[in-house]
Chains A and B, each alone.
Chain A
Amino acid sequence: MIHTDKLTKHFKNKKETVEAVKGVDIDIAPGELVAFLGPNGAGKSTTLRMLTTLLSPTSGSARVAGVDVVADPAGVRSRIGYIGQGNGGGHSYRVIDELIMQGRFYGMNSADARARARELLVTMDLQELEKRTVIKLSGGQRRRMDVALGLMHSPQLLFLDEPSTGMDPQNRANLWDHIMRLRAEHGTTIVLTTHYLDEADSMSERVIVIDHGKIIADDTAARLKSNLAGDLLAVEVALASVPAARAVLGQAAADGELEESRHDGGASFRVRLPDGARLAPGLLKALDDAGAPATSLKLNPPTLDDVFLELTGRSLREGAEV
């Protein structure tokens, strides 16, 4: 559905050149649900804008829905749906008018556009708001209207740029319900950008991690986590057992790194283990055998933030809060 070859974008700002996207290769098959994850300014949205013909690439090429973005941008535009970061509906317009006009822009006839608009208003829980002007909608309603606008022409490929930024948890969950249903019912290919870790983690099957304009990882969230991060195991032992425990845990540590901290009457160790849940019982036994029994144990499954930290040495969370 998408194939890019060294897709690159440079912005010229006064005299300096900003390399926003540095030659990315992406392949996305029909029906996939893919998230571009990365901090603000990583190049996610720029990549998305090149794929949706809103920006022309500086070099490299991209085929989207079988069409080259440079040779035939209008061909790409008629085949995809795009939901940008802003609100798509004109503020002074009525909801139904904007939906119908959007359908007309894609070449639907008036009757089809009206029928489709009504259908989407129901799907997106906006049926009561048909005649409301966009500016009077709540934030969540406006975002659902954006999705409805993007779906008017029933695209097989849908791009969403930061779809849930600024929404409260309930509205986010609600929006995701709609997107997931769409996918289940129509097999729509969905590509989105997000800087919400949990969103990329729980919603997407595939996560493409982008940082400084490059793809630094591309896999399922589960594999990224187990391959790159591993579970975080926290073990406490009595003060007397510290040297023995250090030896055992140091050997088990995936990356050879063992964090150690002292507190009254004991010490705690933190260590990363790939597949920690399976290794933990054996490790407990090894500690026992070494005469350093654990007094407490906690196993934290990895997050995508751990993956990002592992890859870049920086936390995504800090970047996301800017």
Chain B
Amino acid sequence: MHASSIDLAHPDGAAVTKPGLGKIVQDTRFVFWRELLLVLRDPFSLVFSLLQPLIFLALFGPLLGAAVGTEAFGGESSLQWFLPGVVVMISLFGTTMTGSNLQYELMTGSYERILATPLSRSSLMIGRALKEWAPLVAQGLLIALVCIPFGFVFYPLHVLLGLLILGIFGIGIGALSYTLALITQGTEWVFWGVQQTLLFPLMILSGIMLPIEAGPGWMQVLSRYNPLTYLVNAERELFAGNIGTDVLWGLLAAVLTAAVGLAIGIRTTKKQTI
């Protein structure tokens, strides 16, 4: 950011017209950092975000094992099966909220102020989505460590790769959530209606919480058209310490989601008449 960015500080210097990849990465860092400042200035919120998945895991995990029985998971510990699902779920909760944080800024005028700066449009979305994803790294590692005494086998490199794929996926979901906030501007409740209505069917149909194989045929068909399914399968494979075709499919689903989300998001930002 040093030599290349100094020109921008002097408006009469070199003009930067089409944002190159370097500029997008740098801008994304700034947007990400600005969002993260809120957490850093108020660290208490971080404590809650770490507690949340633990509570969920502690309350739901035992029920799942008792209700479905361990044979449904191929003889593994139910944790080994369930934990990656929880990680995907936390990342979904976080990244679908990207737009909600934007809503306040849309109302006050700070979003407009930022739009008037030379930040590249894609960085506004990517930076915000990554901020929702960042705590996931801490959350994911923490719950993995906590679960070790209960029979969970921890493969650190595989888990890290899993978190990276989730990060890519999160960029797409974050961009879509961001777009939703933009187009529901002025009717904030619509944002929540749409977010909730989409979130739960997508989650259930991906087999996050209960194995989809146990469901009727139509559910299994629907789940095949759900990108989240591939993400969940990839995470399960990785958390079990394997890298195979599921991981590749998951990566593909993540990249496609990110590409579609960003394309829609950038188009909407450019079309917006705010």
Contact = CB atoms under 8 A, between A and B. Distances in A.
Given A54-B274, A97-B41, A101-B34, A106 B117 contact: yes
Given A93-B37, A105-B30, A75 B16 contact: yes
Contacts of B1: 107, 109
B222 to A, nearest CB: 35
Given A75-B15, A77-B116, A88-B110, A107 B273 contact: no
Interface string B29-52: 010011001100110000000000
B109 A106 contact: no
B42 to A, nearest CB: 8
A91 B117 CA distance: 18
A156 B113 contact: no
Interface in B98-153: 104-105, 107-110, 112-120
A293 to B, nearest CB: 60
Contacts of B118: 74, 77-78, 105-107
Interface string A50-86: 0011111000000001010000101101111011111
Contacts of A72: 15, 17
Nearest to A56: B270
B117 A105 contact: yes
Contacts of A101: 30, 33-34, 37
A156 B9 CA distance: 12
By size class, the interface of chain B is 35 or more
Contacts of B30: 101, 104-105
A133 to B, nearest CB: 8
A40 to B, nearest CB: 17
A144 interface: no
Contacts of A41: none
Nearest to A110: B1
Contact of B115 (A54, A78, A91, A98): A54
Contacts of A174: none
Give the secondary structure class of B's interface.
Answer: helix
A269 B265 CA distance: 64
A53 B8 CA distance: 17
Contact of B9 (A54, A82, A91, A106): A106
B182 to A, nearest CB: 13
Contacts of A280: none
A165 interface: no
A78 B41 contact: no
Nearest to B113: A88
A90 B273 contact: no
A54 B116 contact: yes
A86 B115 CA distance: 13
A92 interface: yes
Nearest to A71: B17
B38 to A, nearest CB: 6
A107 B7 contact: yes
B248 interface: no
Contacts of B115: 54
Contacts of A2: none
Given A54-B116, A86-B112, A75 B17 contact: yes
A89 B110 contact: yes
A104 B5 CA distance: 9
Contacts of A177: none
Contacts of A106: 8-9, 117-118
B244 interface: no
A78 to B, nearest CB: 4
Given A86-B110, A105-B118, A153 B9 contact: yes
Given A54-B274, A74-B16, A109-B2, A90 B110 contact: yes
A92 B112 contact: no
B55 to A, nearest CB: 26
Contacts of A94: 41
B15 A85 contact: no
Contacts of A80: 11, 116
B116 A107 contact: no
Given A74-B16, A86-B113, A94-B41, 7 more contacts: A72-B17, A74-B120, A77-B118, A86-B109, A90-B108, A93-B37, A106-B9
22 contacts: A52-B116, A72-B17, A74-B16, A74-B120, A82-B116, A86-B109, A87-B110, A88-B112, A90-B34, A90-B104, A91-B104, A91-B110, A92-B41, A94-B41, A97-B37, A104-B33, A106-B8, A106-B117, A108-B5, A108-B9, A153-B11, A156-B12
Interface of A: 11, 52-56, 65, 67, 72, 74-75, 77-80, 82-94, 97-98, 101-102, 104-109, 112, 146, 149-150, 153, 155-156
Q: Which 8 pairs between the two chains have the least Cβ-Cβ distance?
A: A86-B109, A107-B8, A88-B113, A82-B116, A107-B5, A79-B11, A78-B118, A105-B117
